[in-house]
Structure 1
């Protein structure tokens, strides 16, 4: 009789494209400090030949035949490594954190049977990044991208800014820059929808996960996310963002989206509110 496969606690995945070692050094060091992470999978979508010279037994490099985007890259890592771990960490190459973040999230998952978690996130300057969001309407995304001054009032609710971020709570969507998800759940979801090259693939994954579990914000240990907002500076990335938005709303509904309405209503009704004015 063949013994059951002993699974690692966590395997992490990072998708790279024309990144240098200097650009991801802090991310790698942060992940390597976490003993719960058995392997770090670097998916080379192009221009990262230097990754093959890294001399660390915990780092594995996967080479994509072509750059098919963020979700496709992570899916390649999932296809090979999901059966080997209990939880899978989707991580951006512009994230860094102090030791203990992954251990804390893993403990929260095991104590409360969470399947999908994300930590507090700050920008590099220390300011808070509102990474927890309701499911977006077309107006949310249009105003945030093209008329940000008008979006501020809507963002207060859309980004659940009145929540007590010192407590754990469920939310319809979290940032894709750092998501710890059970391998069992990711297998059910079949990873990311690869039709999204970049942008909104994380929102799509979150809302599909809502059919099986809560998506949880877990307080206590935070990360830093550089968050370059590339589509605000690069026309080709802007077009990619628009294309993903059209794909998303064609898939889920533009005006009439019962699942969005239900998920957002449930979140707002159960949200722990901050007492700070």
Structure 2
């Protein structure tokens, strides 16, 4: 029997300093609400020995299981009725924490998220529509960045919005009913990195409402550690994009979508390689790393097993 309260789930990978800051923000925000903080550490760099309160439970994984599997491990240990997925590079206040819990008291609401802002207070485009044949076709020519159009998954929130029904809020901060999360099997662990939140929201949306509390916010760094692993990040975004559409696309649009993804990866690879050749220093290195990510994603469509690519890009 689940108790009334919040089980905060954090998965970290060699980011203990950020994780400690995140935990402290939750401790400062908890007020009278029953809470537990479940941390799954996928990293090789062991956590600092800190004397946390008894309701902070840090589990050190023997291997890097990935984002979704880490949260699923926490889900199995959760004892409260609200399961709050949080990135380690997020800070949250008491008002937002309580509002997320309260919003899930509505019978038809299964998931809820706050507005996300950068540390300087500027707004993140953290809400998206689920990908479609139109958004994947638009990516081929880079026409998918204009929010609130049929060609983009990006959603710009209307001024003055309070509570909005949405398709896919970012899982940097996402509260879900624990019983629903368990019923649908948690995160799909066939997505090692990226698109696991898109997949989750696609499944959650079939069970009830997903809402955004636009009048509450959390501070999100926005890049986390991804900027240090650009080749792997790019590879997994593209690999998981194809995996998502293989799972959900059907009918005449399926071959169109899968072809569009491959062509888009090719155009991005070519453009980044050409741009890198015109740059020097760190900028060239970063551009080449991202181009390599697209290149490996192209290769992965016809060569290599899942285990091969996980070993290559999910290192300890």
Provide TM-score, normalisation by structure 2: 0.71
Residues 1:14 and 2:7 are matched in the alignment: no
Match of 1:40 in 2: 37
SS of the residue 1:198 aligns to: coil
Q: CA deviation at 1:24?
A: 2.4
2:127 aligned with 1:120, yes or no?
A: no
CA distance in 1, matches of 2:162, 2:127: 13
The answer to whether the Cα contact below 8 Å between 1:232 and 1:238 also exists between their aligned partners in 2 is no
Greater CA drift, 113-122 or 51-60: 51-60
Q: Give runs of ≥4 in structure 1 deviating > 6 Å.
A: none
Cα deviations by residue, 1:57-91 (Å, 9 ceiling, x for unpaired): 1210112221121000000000122xx11101000
The structure whose Rg is larger is 2
1:73 and 1:138, CA in 2 relative to 1: closer, same or farther beyond 3 A?
farther
Q: How far apart are the structure 2 equivalents of 1:141 and 1:129?
A: 22
Q: Alpha carbons of 1:246 and 1:111: their partners in 2 closer, same or farther (altered >3 Å)?
A: closer
Deviation of 1:38 after TM superposition, in Å, equals 1.6
Hey, what does 1:198 align to over in structure 2?
193
How is 1:128-143 mapped onto 2 (pairs within 5 angstroms)? Answer: 128-137=123-132, 140=135
Alignment pair present for 1:152 and 2:145: yes
Structure 2 counterparts to residues 204-219 of structure 1, below 5 A: 204-219=199-214
Pairing 1:243–2:235 present: no
Give the aligned partner of residue 65 of structure 1: 62
Query: In the alignment, what sits opposite 1:224?
Result: 219
Q: How many residues matched?
A: 247
Deviation at 1:123, TM superposition (A): 1.4
* Superposed displacement of residue 143, structure 1: 5.5
SS in 1 for 2:75: helix
Matches within 5 A, 1:18-29: 18-21=14-17, 23-29=18-24
- Deviation readout 1:8-32 (Å, 9 max, x if unpaired): 41010100111132x2233112211
Return 5+ residue gaps in structure 2 as ranges.
255-316
Higher relative contact order (CA 8 A, sep 6+): 1
TM-score (norm 1): 0.80
Q: Residues 231 and 241 of structure 1 are in contact (CA less than 8 Å); yes or no, is this contact kept in structure 2?
A: no
